[in-house]
Chains A and B, each alone.
Chain A
Amino acid sequence: MLIDPMETQLPADPVKAIERPQVVTQSLLYLDGVSVSFDGFRAINNLSLIIAPGEMRAIIGPNGAGKTTMMDIITGKTKPDAGDVIFDGQIDLTQLDETAIANLGIGRKFQKPTVFEMHTVEVNIEMAVKADRTVFGTLFSRQSAAIGRRVDDILGIVRLGDHRNRLAGDLSHGQKQWLEIGMLLAQDPKLLLVDEPAAGMTDVETGATADLLKDIARTHSVVVVEHDMGFIRELGVKVTCLHEGSVLAEGSLDQVSADERVIEVYLGR
């Protein structure tokens, strides 16, 4: 770790490589040759992936393909053994920790919906809204109208306005998923990483979630990991299929699902 752990904000001089090629500088997220092993098991194997600014991308792949590990690497939870992870064309994410990366503008929704169950829906969103995140800043912070309006907006977008005073722990599974997406939005990130947003949802909820994500994708870059092919079809975006830690196929959903190898390892005949 080269970064002073006390540093909350982005370091004044981000770790820059000299003269990155245009493909790097014009991308929002650039992964090249990334590998990571756990006890000899190669979870990610020479993975390369480019997300353009404003793009929405769907990631599919069988269990153990490395989808969640890829998100761990991007968000700083796991350090790769090799390879480059560049955000916004210049920032080397492998040198930063989770907090610093979150503050750079990468939001993450976990596979299992994770919200603060002992807080109300409103407080959950309020804590996520972009504001001073230091100990003393929050200790003496006062309720501001601007933050209140932002909370109202977000609650409207994720359709939880009627539930604002309920404890997050009392919400249904689908509502928790939306609350977590709402918290992501409140952070106002440049890039949202969304892990299985439709898992455990009813068909109606799944449809609503797809609409919600399409809405969000108009103003943000989004990476969605999902197993539900119907859901991905509804999103109608470029698809990347991972297998054994690297990219197996990439393209439109029709192209990818017609790929022989994808059918072999993932879709089944």
Chain B
Amino acid sequence: MMLTRFLFERIDRGGWVFLVLLGIAAVLVPVLNLAVPPGSMFHVSNTAVGLWGKYMTYALLAIAVDLVWGYCGILSLGHGAFFALGGYAMGMYLMLQIGPRGVYAHPTLPDFMVFLNWTELPVAWWGFSSFPYAMLMVALVPGLLAFVFGWFAFRSRVTGVYLSIITQALTYALMLAFFRNDMGFGGNNGLTDFKDILGFNIQSQTTRAVLFSLSVLALMAGYLVARAIVTSKAGKIIIAIRDAEPRTRFLGYRVENFKLFVWTVSAVMAGIAGALYVPQVGIINPSEFSPANSIEAIVWVAVGGRGTLVGAALGAGLVNFAKSWFTGAFPQGWLFALGGLFILVTLFLPKGILGTFTDWWKRRGETRKPPTASPASQPAE
């Protein structure tokens, strides 16, 4: 009761439109995919379900990035690390579900461990055959890493471009570590060849449709949590920290604690997104830690509109849709297009698509109404 009020009380009209559209998609897409015959014009193809399911997890990552960057001014160039860690936790569960069906038919060990002549499961893998434990790790591992990282970084007052560089280094270091075979996470091949999740065949179209719906629900939940945070009084302080950090400190707020809070929440959100991503694409490997991925997430948010949440999700969808189309039509041109897009948005749409649209909508409303004597038009004393 308290929680529903906390989550739903301060959603604006745009937010409701976003939630309703997502709710419709969560129900309609699986129905149109499974129940409508492939010949019909209303049929949603299996490829589309997989693709849009992936976009939903990207959108959740974008909201996580927007929460720290758009509202708290922390430009993270390493959020892909939290996404990948969540993905690895899910991947480890899925690997242990394969059981004796692997290529080497070992009863407990995943194929790559048999290949490396390991005889028993490394400690880091203990417990991952349990789904609840794996789900706990999906949130806990990125959350804990973010907490420890943030604890030191924010306490030492590392800000701005220095912090961005450290986050970049963090994800790069993790990438190098996960590339190593002796880390025990599959080296450069990563984790793949998944068979089933909670006993359901991961390849079956029903499972894939359910995973799509779950991704949409996770995106909705992520939006609700982020929206509740940024509209609370704590959210106002977080925005204040973004705009005038010393002022906030001299008002008596512990800036580092507020930063640590949004940073950790955001990392957990990114981890959950990664965990939903892996079963849909069927693989997780160290390239998910690559700095380019994290930077791409920043571009999504910038394109959609930072500090809007809905815009971030929208940007993730649009940019990735463009990427899918582009890599099909001009495989060599995508990175140029992405770079060009970032430059264009920074120059001509500094508030992103949604921010620009909102401004235009407001101006339109003002010009239509007859001008009334508003306090804003009074002369300054």
The chain A residues found within 8 Å of chain B, CB to CB, are 5-6, 8, 75, 77, 98-99, 102-103, 107-108, 110, 114-119, 123, 126-128, 133-136, 138-141, 159, 162-166, 170-172, 174-175, 183, 187, 204-205, 208
Contacts and interface: CB of A to CB of B under 8 A. Distances in A.
Contacts of A140: 6, 232
Contact of A139 (B233, B249, B253, B256): B233
Interface residues of B, number: 30
B155 interface: yes
Nearest to B247: A114
Given A135-B234, A140-B6, A98 B256 contact: no
A123 B378 CA distance: 20
Contacts, number: 97
B239 A118 contact: yes
Contact of A134 (B239, B240, B257): B257
A133 B254 contact: yes
Contact of A127 (B6, B237, B378, B380): B237
Contact of B244 (A6, A115, A133): A115
B247 A138 contact: no
B339 interface: no
Interface string B246-287: 110111111111100100000000000000000000000000
A196 B11 CA distance: 41
B229 interface: yes
A119 B158 CA distance: 25
A204 B232 CA distance: 39
B240 A141 contact: no
Contacts of A208: 381
Contact of A119 (B239, B253, B256, B258): B239
B375 interface: yes
B243 interface: yes
Contacts of B255: 99
Nearest to A167: B376
Contacts of A127: 233, 236-237, 240, 251
Contacts of A204: 381
A99 B243 contact: no
A197 B229 CA distance: 35
A38 B172 CA distance: 37
Nearest to B260: A135
B239 A116 contact: yes
Contacts of B253: 99, 133
Given A116-B239, A139-B234, A183 B155 contact: no
A114 to B, nearest CB: 5
B8 to A, nearest CB: 15
B252 A103 contact: yes
Interface in B202-259: 229, 232-234, 236-237, 239-240, 243-244, 246-247, 249-258
8 contacts: A98-B250, A99-B249, A99-B252, A103-B252, A115-B247, A119-B236, A183-B251, A204-B381
Contacts of B247: 110, 114-116
A133 to B, nearest CB: 5
B238 to A, nearest CB: 9
A123 B250 CA distance: 16
Given A114-B244, A135-B258, A162-B375, A75 B236 contact: no
A249 B378 CA distance: 45
B53 to A, nearest CB: 31
Given A110-B246, A141-B233, A141-B234, 14 more contacts: A6-B254, A99-B255, A102-B252, A108-B250, A114-B244, A116-B244, A118-B243, A128-B251, A134-B257, A135-B257, A139-B229, A170-B376, A172-B380, A205-B381
Nearest to B5: A142
A98 to B, nearest CB: 5
Contacts of B243: 116-118
Contacts of A135: 234, 254, 257-258, 261
B226 to A, nearest CB: 13
B246 A114 contact: yes
Contact of B375 (A115, A165, A172, A183): A165
Nearest to B259: A135
A249 to B, nearest CB: 30
B249 A102 contact: yes
Contacts of B250: 75, 98, 102, 107-108
Most A CB within 10 A of own CB, among B243, B250, B255: B250
A126 B240 CA distance: 12
Nearest to B239: A118
Most A CB within 10 A of own CB, among B233, B239, B255: B233
A134 to B, nearest CB: 7
Contacts of B239: 116, 118-119
B257 A138 contact: no
B380 A102 contact: no
Given A114-B244, A135-B261, A163 B375 contact: yes
A187 B253 CA distance: 11
Nearest to B2: A140
Contacts of A183: 251
A48 to B, nearest CB: 24
A175 B251 contact: no
Contacts of B249: 98-99, 102
Nearest to B251: A128
Interface in B359-381: 375-376, 378, 380-381
A97 to B, nearest CB: 8
A117 B239 CA distance: 10
Contact of A174 (B6, B240, B380): B380
B252 A187 contact: yes
